[in-house]
Structure 1
C-alpha cells in the first residue's frame, strides 16, 4: 500500500468514525464511547494518515518504512473499535483493544521516529523556492511535531501500563494527553505550515513560537493536574494562550487573504469553537466539575476545534468538486459545515442553558453534517478508484 493510498484509507476510515461519534452522541452513549469514537477514531486516524504524508517532506526526509502505514492501519482500526465497544461489551475488549491500539501507535512512532532521526527538531524544513521566506516560521512550527509524538508515546505507554496493572492513569488524563498534547500540537505545527500557504499570507514567527511553547507545556499540566484544581487552572490558562493565539493567527490570515475556499470556513468555525471550549474548560477549573459544563467543554474541543479543523483541511486536500457522485460540490460542503457548526452550537446552548430539547436537535444536525462530509470525502476518493 503506497503512502498516498494508505493516507486516504486512514482519512476515509476516520470519516466513518466521525459518523459513529455523532451517532453515539445522539443515542446518549456512555462518554467513554463518545470520546473514543471522536478522538481515537476520527481525529487520530486523520492525524496518522496525514502525518505519514506530510511529516517526511516537512522534515526534508523520505518515509523510512513504506509498509508502516499498511501495518498500522488494521491495528489502529481494530484497536479503536475494541476500545469504543469496551464499555458496552465483555471485559476482554478493553485489554485487547488497548494492545492493538498501542501496537499501531508503536508502528507509527517507530516509522516517523526513524524517518526524522537526524533532524528531530525540524531544522531542515524542505522549504525553498517561492516559499523560502517562510523557512523561519516553518522551522519553529516543526518543533511541535516531535513534542506531539512524545505525548502520543506517553499516552500509549500509560495506557499499556494501566492495562498491565503497573499503574493507574484515568481515561480523562489519557484524553487530555492525546487531544491537547498530540492532536492540538499537530494542528499548531502543521497548521502554521499549511494555512499560510493555503491563504497566501504570513504569520509572525514570535506568535508561532508562543503558540508552540504554550501548546507544548499546557497538556502536561492538564493531564497530570486534572484532579488538582490549582494545576488544572494553570494548565487551562497556558493551553488557552495556545488555542487563542492560534485562533487569532488564523483569523488574521483569513481576513488578509483574498481566497475564500470552502474548507477555510470550517477552520474559521473551528477556532471560534476552540475559544469557546477553552472558556468552558476554565469555567470548569474555577467552579468545579458540573457534568453539563464538562460535556460542553469536550464537545466544543473535540467536535468543534479539532473536528472542524479536520473537516476544513480535508476539504482543502480533497476538494468536494472533484467527487464523481451527485451533488458533490462546494454547496454541499458548505451545507455540511453549516450543519456541523450549528449543530454543535445548539448542543452547547442546550447543555449550558439546560434546555433539554436543544441537545437532540443539535446532535441530529451534527450527525447529518457528518454524513454529508463522509459522502463528499468518499465521492472524492471514488474518482481515484475508477
Structure 2
C-alpha cells in the first residue's frame, strides 16, 4: 500500500542551503507515485533554479504571486484547491513565521494561507535560529493550528559545527508523511488497533563479553511490523538486537534476553488486539552470569543451562481477546512440530518455516512459510520477499479473525 500514490503534493521550497535537497525530495515523492507541483520563494531561487524543479516535476514552477499561468484562474487559489498534501521543505524561519502569523506577501505564503489540505513543515536552519524563542513560539502555533512538524535532524551544519537544524533526509520526510496519512485513514483494516510484534534473536549472557544466541536477523519481524503499520495499526516492535533501522511510525522497545522480552510483552499484552511472536527466543540460558570474563583453562569448560520461560505458551494461557500468532522455525518434521506448537501454546495461528531450506528463514531476505490454524488445512505461502510474506500473513490473519468475530 503506497498512500502517496496519485496524491497531489504541493512542495514549497524556501531559501536555505538545504534547498538543493528538495530536488531529491521531488524525485522521492514521484517515486512513491505522487504528482508534484513546486513553489519556490525568491530566496529559494538563489540556491536552485525553477528550471530544475520544472524538469523533475514536469510542471511549471510557481514563483510570482502576480503571474497567472492560465488567464481564467487565480494561480495561488487554483494550486490551493488542487493540493491534497502541502509540504514545506525546507522551511526557513522566515516562512515559518509568515505561516504562523497569517502573513501573505508572496506566492508561497499566499497559497499556503488558502490551502485547506493537510500541511507538513520540515524546518531547516541554524541551530541558534531553531532554538530562538520566537521560532519555537511560531512552531508551537503551527502545531496548535494542526500543521504537522517534521523535526529537523541533529548533525553537521553549513556553518561548520554541529547542532539541531539539519534538513531531514528526503526518504525520512516521505516516510513521515506516509505515516501521518496512515494514522488519518480510518478505512484501513487495523486502524487504531494495537499490535505487538517481536523480532530478532535474544541473547543469553554467559559473562560480560559472551552470550548464547541464534542466526535470526529480525527481518521477518520488522517486515511484519511495517506491514501492520501500513494497515493502520498502532504497532509496538519489541526487538532483540539487530542491525536493522527502526521502521517508520512504529513504537520501538529494545530488549536483549528472553527475560527482558517477556517483561516487555506482559506489560503491553492486555491492551493488544494482535500479537505476532516473530522473535527467535532462546530456549535456554545460563542460571548464573559471570561478573568477569570467563578465562580459558587447561581443561574443558562445562556449561550448565536452564530452561527459559515459554513466552508464547504463557501468552496463550492468558489470552482473552488477543489474536495470537506464533512462529515455528524447524529443520525437520515441519508440520508435525508446528501442529504440536499450535495446540500446546493455545495460539490462533502458527507460521512455520523450514530454516534448513535454501533462501528460507534466518538471515535471508526471502522466506517460504506454511500457516497452520485449528480445523483448517495448512496454507502454503511460496518463496517471496519477507515484505510480501508479511503482507500475506496479515491478510490470512485478518480473514480468520473476521470469521471468528
Pick the TM interval, shorter chain.
under 0.3
**Structure having greater relative contact order (Cα 8 Å, sep ≥ 6):** 1
Considering only CA atoms, is the larger Rg found in Structure 1 or Structure 2? 2
Report which of the two has the higher share of strand.
Answer: 2
TM-score scaled by length of structure 2: 0.25
Report which of the two has the higher share of helix.
Answer: 1
